Chains A and B, each alone.
Chain A
């Protein structure tokens, strides 16, 4: 193995060793009785609970797969609806000065409204079923995406537009071939922020008035003194978040091949 190969191995080994040592220490601390298992469920217990959850289900036989599926579906529906509405609307508002001026206070205010504070209204409007959860996720994602899209199209370098104009480019061409590609990086960044908001909202929305979904699982487990299941739920929802954010990175690489170099430098 080359010198560099060893170094790379070391780079991977150090975090691995530290994580393993941490998990072992965690297990030991609980086994020695320094902390109560209900406060910090030991790793062995968490693995056992994950298996229990996947095979037998909790609460009342709802399998882990069902919780994951339902949370996933809620997030994706709300997120997709929000993006589908916010992007065209944002492009429209952002490319028209008067419209932008007229809607700016409304957009700013609606964005400042804490999404979960709408929960009581959502329940009155849509009942306690799926629609109210999708609405809340959609609301949170929509305003974030809208304001980011508006900013994206407004911040397109005016030199680009003028340059296209001097070349007698038809207005539709300027929009689709110049302004839109130039605005895309900021829009994708906005889509990423919106996804984060969706994740925050789903946990809160599922904590109230439902027993299905990961947020409900996490909250229900506490009432049964099963903090181990809460921890499993937290890790699973974290993993879904990572998976979706990875999907977004792939979409970004495909949509914006020219932006990839910057991504790789991020810690």
Chain B
């Protein structure tokens, strides 16, 4: 883990953020650049405060969070279990590998039209695409982790008569946990990007929809507010996930 940043370094970071926001604000105020093209941060905030009620905002954020948690949760469960099965059983790996290799390179968003045909325009189609986005990194790292478990560990356990299910549960899976933890982080990042895209293209609610609606109404301030909102929610969610992962799956790894 990275050591806690020194105070002076934090100050430098805060300072540069303040300087950037000030330049942006001044640039719009003094007309160095067209506010129609890039509204000032204060304008964006004011527009958001004027046009968006707190309840609407909470609803958009809430529905987005629900979608991502559903898709990511599903991907975590299915991805980790499948990865472990394929890593444990060479037979399963040999049978399923061709499908994995064919499906893996397809970008998750490309599934959206099929998802809409299969599940309609409601929540399941979005959850499915988010699921796909998170699934492959989680699954691949679990699988890869399983195949990379040190053979010495396995043999050492075997000499002590640990075999079968106990070998899997007490040796192989714990040794794979760091990889699983890393996969969960990567998967969450991808899922978040896909969430926004799916909401831009096919949704009537959520943070992505908020931005798309603002664009159609020509409210660029709201769009900028939405972009920042998504960034902040992503950062907070990722931070929480990192904490949860560290506390559970990744106890002895640097995630």
**Chain B contact surface mostly:** helix
User: Please, how many angstroms separate the alpha-carbon atoms of A95 and B234 in the complex?
Assistant: 28
Among listed A55-63, A106-114, A180-188, interface-contacting one:
A106-114
Q: How large is the interface on A (under 10, 10 to 19, 20 to 34, 35 or more residues)?
A: 35 or more
Residue in contact with A117 in the complex, picked from B10, B94, B211, B235, CB distance below 8 Å: B211
- Which one, A119, A120, A121, A241, contacts B107 given CB within 8 A? A241
B184: Cβ under 8 A from any A Cβ: no
User: B122 at interface (Cβ–Cβ under 8 A)?
Assistant: no
Q: Which residues of A contact B (CB under 8 A)?
A: 11, 14-16, 18-19, 22, 38-39, 97-98, 101-106, 108-110, 112-121, 123-125, 197, 199-204, 207-208, 214-215, 218-219, 221-222, 227, 230-231, 233-235, 237-239, 241-242, 245, 265-267
The 8 residue pairs across chains A and B that have the minimum distance between CB atoms:
A120-B215, A101-B9, A222-B113, A238-B105, A114-B196, A204-B197, A238-B106, A113-B231
Counting contact residues on chain B (CB < 8 A from A), the size range is 35 or more
Q: Are B113 and A120 in contact (CB under 8 A)?
A: no
Please tell me which stretch of B51-59, B143-151, B243-251 contacts chain A, meaning at least 4 of its Cβ atoms lie within 8 angstroms of it: B143-151
Chain B residue nearest to A197 (CB atoms) is B193
Report the stretch among B69-77, B95-103, B157-165, B167-175 that lies at the interface. B95-103
On whether the beta carbons of A207 and B220 are closer than 8 Å, the reply is: no
Query: B82 contacts the other chain (Cβ, under 8 Å)?
Result: no
Q: Find the B residue at minimum CB distance from A10.
A: B94
User: Is B17 close to A, CB under 8 A?
Assistant: yes
A155, chain B: closest CB distance, angstroms: 10
Q: How far is the CA of A132 from the CA of B238 in the complex (A)?
A: 28
B193 adjacent to A116 (CB under 8 Å) = yes
Is the Cβ of A125 less than 8 Å from the Cβ of B15? no
The answer, yes or no, to whether B156 is at the interface (CB within 8 Å) is no
Residue of B nearest to A11 (CB): B94
B61 within 8 A of A: no
User: Using Cβ atoms and an 8 Å threshold, which residues of chain B touch A102?
Assistant: 12-13, 15-16
* B230 touching A267, Cβ below 8 Å: no
Sample 21 A-B pairs with CB under 8 A, ordered by A number.
A14-B94, A14-B95, A19-B98, A101-B8, A101-B12, A112-B235, A114-B192, A116-B196, A116-B208, A117-B230, A119-B200, A215-B109, A219-B112, A235-B106, A237-B106, A238-B103, A238-B110, A242-B105, A245-B105, A267-B143, A267-B147
**Closest partner residue, chain A, to B10 (CB atom):** A101
A121-B220, A200-B107, A227-B113 known; A114+B37 contact, CB < 8 A? no
A87 to B214, CA, bound (A): 34
Complex partner residue of A218 from B8, B113, B232, B234, CB under 8 angstroms: B113
B6-27 Cβ-contact flags toward A at 8 Å (1 or 0): 0011101111110010000000
